[in-house]
Chain A
């Protein structure tokens, strides 16, 4: 098939599919379009590069840690990706083909990630892979995806400084998460002084660097009183809490991760720092983390994200309902979980626009792809493979959810290599 016809076809088709999902009228979609697709998109045409695509099925990979220390964080992403895949299948699949997934365990070990990524691409010929969580795991698989021309949908908010032909970043890069939040806290809380904290690795360090540049260079009369890092897994924060008490910053800016997070907020509360009076802004605490910290220990803190489970829009209500139906009513949904949910959908839309599963065609079709019914609202793929999305500020409640207190009026442009912030 020449390039043109699918382009003509794609827009009404896609709209139809979107309506289909929104209404969840799966059964209606099933019968006739399936055969129509198979005729319009014969396998030989939609798959010229030998991917695992048959007349009825297309194989994708899911690559996360389900054992080891990172299992805590990555479980939510796996759940979201499986939910998205099952919903896509219910609504008729992609180009008439059902998605079959192969799940591999990265075991919180970066060479294992590289090894499994290679397996998914070389042995299983996956048409796309949803996966990775930490930057280290992404960095480990990146050369593999580039060498074998695979396609990776990466869900986590991360430090930026990367842009690959073979990766779509469905989470925020650092500036998308940081700048709007700092502006907001500067305007509404009249914050002038900041104390930056972080776990000692690349994401918090890069993020704090951007935050410092923004505070010192772009916010009038603002200054950074201190900047400190702690080894991953650190559990004792009393000394730094003393320092915070002495410096009395307007804002504590905290990017602490993992088990340290729990220790930090518990000790902060025990030290008598009342988060209803002391402003604390974080970019590392989602609903998932609060499960471990305990809502009562962090209530009043502000988090800067692009999604909160409590978000009030119809698409999100449906998403939360479907998610909890599939994975249990008590499961909470954090920012990354939602971003992971976007991956399969964005891939589906791009494949349908391209009329092909071929990686290069999907990549070429991707810039400008929109997901209007995303739980977070509306997202669009930027030509740098990141997403245009809004930045939200939420205030933590005692029940572990957030009240959204601020939303940027416009979509924030992703900028993985921010000029003037490096």
Chain B
């Protein structure tokens, strides 16, 4: 079959499965922040990619600070960088919500446009501050490279890292949503905003925190993606179509939906890429997702909501 031997087929299978899992983690990490916001407010944040790149630039800055002042601790700077990315992106998100988004809750389509305007401004800000060229983010040695399993199969360390991170953050978000008081309030607001307000939940505050959290997670994702992608003023644009589709395909108001959708899209893309050329695989994946969305417009999983 396809000119491979049985042993090779086994290896192909193992390696492709692993690549698929990495892709799944990447997609999920990209989409998580956006999904939280979309689920809470029905708003797509078009500047999501730029918040990710903000996180990536924070990683870049942190690495330089560590190189200059704490060279001995450089091998662990990445953890600090992720915290910085979360805080900065999250704070930026809170500010944006306060200045911009809160005026637009009744007009979700307008939010789409306003956040697009925001993304333009953020891109130009990055270009002015960090220059038009892409910056290279230096990573600690231990994060690059692979662990050999057999002589064909190797496991990427940064892939494992992204998987672990995704697991951790998804777990964290799930805990927050389903075990904390704040999560309870969020779910209440999603189910019935007016009623939640009536029973004393500060819906405005919940919205703001959700938006900030979503942007903060985008920042972490951006920090993590310095391992696998580029960091430049317009790099955020590379992720938007994939991210939006994962979220929309997953359906609003459902963490499980986002996970399932990221899994489906990543697996189909990864498999198609193996048998076809990269760009045809991409086209087919997008068309399949669009087709499925036409059949199941509200996404994979839907929470019943009272309107």
On chain A, the residues within 8 Å of B233 by CB distance are 71-72
The CA-CA distance from A272 to B155 in the complex, in Å, is 8
User: Does A370 interact with chain B (Cβ within 8 Å)?
Assistant: no
Q: Decide: B234 and A69 in contact? CB cutoff 8 A.
A: yes
Binary interface profile of A, 252-288, with partner B (CB < 8 Å = 1, else 0)?
0000001111110011011110000000000000001
Please, which residues of chain A bring their CB within 8 A of the CB of B139?
294
Say which residue of A228, A239, A262, A290 sits within 8 Å of B19 (CB atoms): A239
Nearest residue (CB) in B for A263 is: B229
A292 at the interface (CB under 8 A from B): yes
Instruction: Please report the total number of B residues contacting A with Cβ < 8 Å.
Output: 51
Is B157 an interface residue when CB atoms closer than 8 A count as contact? yes
Say whether, besides A229-B278, A230-B279, A294 and B132 are in contact (CB < 8 Å). no
Q: Is B159 an interface residue (CB 8 A)?
A: yes
Check if B239 sits within 8 Å of A291, measured CB to CB.
no
**B97 interface residue (CB < 8 Å to A):** no
Q: Does A192 contact B (CB under 8 A)?
A: no
Which residue in B12, B26, B157, B282 is a CB contact (below 8 Å) of A231? Answer: B282
Surface stretch bound by A, among B102-110, B185-193, B199-207, B269-277:
B269-277
Would you give the shortest CB distance from A75 to chain B, in whole angstroms? Answer: 5
B23–A236 touching, CB < 8 Å? yes
Contact of A269 among B11, B22, B144, B152 (CB under 8 A): B144
- Nearest A residue (CB) for B12: A246
> Is there an interface contact between B4 and A246, defined as CB atoms closer than 8 Å?
yes
Q: Which residues of B contact A241 (CB under 8 A)?
A: 19
B278 contacts across to A, CB distance below 8 A: 200, 228-231, 234, 239-240
> Which B residue sits closest to A274, measured CB to CB?
B145
User: With an 8 A cutoff between CB atoms, is B196 at the interface?
Assistant: no
Given contacts A235-B228, A235-B229, A270-B159, contact A292 B148 (CB under 8 A): no
Beta-carbon contact of A75 and B133 below 8 Å: yes
**A263-B152 CB under 8 A given contacts A231-B279, A296-B138:** no
Interfacial chain B residues near A260, Cβ < 8 Å: 230
User: For the complex, is A245 an interface residue (Cβ under 8 Å from B)?
Assistant: yes
Inter-chain CA distance A230–B8, complex, in Å, is: 25
**Cα distance, A270 to B15, chains bound together (Å):** 14
Q: A291 with B133: in contact, given A235-B229, A246-B4, A270-B156 (CB under 8 Å)?
A: yes
Against A, the Cβ 8 Å flags (1 = close, 0 = not) of B1-40 are: 0001000100110011001001100100000000000000
Contacts A292-B134, A293-B136 known; A270 to B146 CB distance under 8 Å? yes
User: In chain A between 278 and 326, which residues have their CB closer than 8 angstroms to a CB of chain B?
Assistant: 288, 290-297
Known: A291-B133, A296-B138, A297-B144. A238 touches B270 (CB 8 A): yes
- Is B174 on the interface with A (CB-CB < 8 A)? no
Chain A positions within 8 Å of B148 at CB level: 272
Q: Tell yes or no: A35 within 8 A of B by CB.
A: no
Minimum distance in angstroms from A109 CB to a CB of chain B: 13
Cβ-defined contact, A266 with B227, below 8 A: yes
CB distance from B161 to the nearest CB of A (A): 10
Whether the Cβ atoms of B279 and A229 lie closer than 8 Å is: yes
- A143 interface residue (CB < 8 Å to B): no
The answer to whether B145 and A270 have CB atoms under 8 Å apart is yes
CA gap between A72 and B145 in the complex, in Å: 28
Cβ of A48 under 8 Å from chain B: no
Q: How far is the CA of A91 from the CA of B178 in the complex (A)?
A: 74
Knowing A235-B238, A259-B229, the reply to whether A270 touches B144 (Cβ < 8 A) is yes
Bound form: Cα–Cα A267–B162 in Å: 13
Could you tell me if B12 and A72 are in contact, using CB atoms closer than 8 angstroms?
A: no
Residues of A near B134 (CB, < 8 A) are: 72, 259, 262, 291-292
In the complex, A242 has a CB within 8 A of chain B: yes
Q: Give the one of A234, A238, A291 with max B CB within 10 A.
A: A238
A-chain residues with CB within 8 Å of residue B19 when the two chains form the complex:
238-239, 241-242
Structural contact, A271 and B135, CB atoms closer than 8 A:
no
A262 with B229: CB separation less than 8 A: yes
* B237 CB within 8 Å of chain A: yes
Q: For B159, list chain A residues within 8 Å (CB).
A: 238, 270
- Interface membership of B235, Cβ < 8 A: yes
Asked if B232 is an interface residue, CB under 8 A from chain A, the answer is: yes
A190 is an interface residue with CB less than 8 A from chain B: no
Within 8 A of A (CB), among B229-288: 229-235, 237-239, 269-270, 273-274, 277-279, 281-282
Contact A235/B274 with A272-B145, A293-B136 known, Cβ cut-off 8 Å: no
- Would you call A243 an interface residue if the criterion is a C-beta within 8 Å of the partner chain's C-beta atoms? yes
Cα separation A227 to B276 with both chains bound (whole Å):
10
Residue ID in chain B nearest A332 by CB atoms: B133
Select B227's contact among A229, A239, A270, A290, beta carbons within 8 Å: A270
At the interface, yes or no: A217 with Cβ under 8 Å from chain B?
A: no
Q: Do the beta carbons of A271 and B154 come within 8 Å of each other?
A: yes
Residues of A within 8 A of B152 (CB): 245-246
Separation in Å of the B224 CB from the closest CB of chain A?
Answer: 12
Q: Are the C-beta atoms of B238 and A259 separated by less than 8 Å?
A: yes
In the bound complex, do residue A271 and residue B146 qualify as a contact, i.e. CB atoms below 8 Å apart?
Answer: yes
In whole angstroms, what is the CA distance A297 to B229 when docked?
12
A contact residues around B154 at 8 Å (CB): 245, 271-272
Interface status of B137 (Cβ within 8 A of chain A): yes
Q: Is A233 an interface residue (CB 8 A)?
A: yes
What is the CA–CA distance of A257 and B277 in the complex, to the nearest angstrom? 17
What residues of B have a CB within 8 angstroms of the CB of A75 in the complex?
132-133
Q: Which residues of A contact B273 (CB under 8 A)?
A: 236, 239-240
B142 to chain A, nearest CB (A): 12
**Partner pick for A246 among B11, B127, B132, B227, CB 8 A cutoff:** B11
Given contacts A259-B238, A263-B228, contact A294 B138 (CB under 8 A): yes
- 26 A-B residue pairings within 8 Å (CB atoms): A69-B234, A71-B127, A71-B132, A72-B133, A75-B132, A228-B277, A229-B278, A230-B278, A230-B279, A235-B239, A245-B154, A246-B11, A259-B234, A259-B235, A262-B229, A266-B158, A266-B227, A270-B157, A270-B158, A270-B227, A291-B136, A292-B134, A292-B135, A292-B232, A293-B136, A296-B138
- 8 smallest CB-CB distances across A and B, nearest first, come from A292-B134, A272-B146, A262-B230, A238-B19, A230-B278, A294-B136, A239-B273, A259-B230
- Can you add 4 more A-B contacts, CB < 8 Å, to A228-B278, A261-B230? A68-B234, A229-B277, A259-B229, A270-B159
Q: Which residues of B contact A (CB under 8 A)?
A: 4, 8, 11-12, 15-16, 19, 22-23, 26, 124, 127, 132-139, 144-146, 148, 152, 154, 156-159, 227-235, 237-239, 269-270, 273-274, 277-279, 281-282
